[in-house]
Amino acid sequence: MFLGEDLLAYLVLALGAAMAVGSIVALVRPPQEPKEGELARAPLSRSIVMIVVGTVAAIWALASLVSG
């Protein structure tokens, strides 16, 4: 198989972790000078949902890789 047998698990791990970390960073460090038309900070409820979904996906992918 192209790029290994566990390609899908690696992609889910990368995307899930990026989704979680990016949402956390958006909450912790909002832009100092938001541009015109941008929000001053990320919406809290949407960010929390993205953090939870990304974390679950990353943990699931990591468990799939570790279990074999």
Q: What is the pLDDT of residues 8-45, one digit of tens each?
A: 999 999 999 999 999 999 999 988 888 888 888 889 99
Q: CB-based burial of residue 63 (10 Å sphere; 0-12 exposed, 13-18 middle, 19+ buried)? A: exposed
The answer to whether position 36 is within a domain reads no
8 A C-beta contact, residue 59 and residue 45: no
Distance between CA atoms of residues 61 and 24, nearest Å: 20
The answer to whether position 1 is within a domain reads no
The answer to whether position 34 is within a domain reads no
What pTM, to 2 d.p., does this model score? 0.84
- What's the confidence (pLDDT) of residue 65? 92
The answer to whether position 58 is within a domain reads yes
More confident residue, 32 or 55: 55
Domain count, the chain: 1
Domain span at 52: 7-29+41-67
Q: How confident is the model at residue 1 (pLDDT cuts 50, 70, 90)?
A: low
The answer to whether position 22 is within a domain reads yes
The answer to whether position 61 is within a domain reads yes
Strands (E) across 1-68 are located at none
The answer to whether position 59 is within a domain reads yes
Mean pLDDT of all residues in 34-60: 92
The answer to whether position 23 is within a domain reads yes
8 A C-beta contact, residue 23 and residue 51: yes
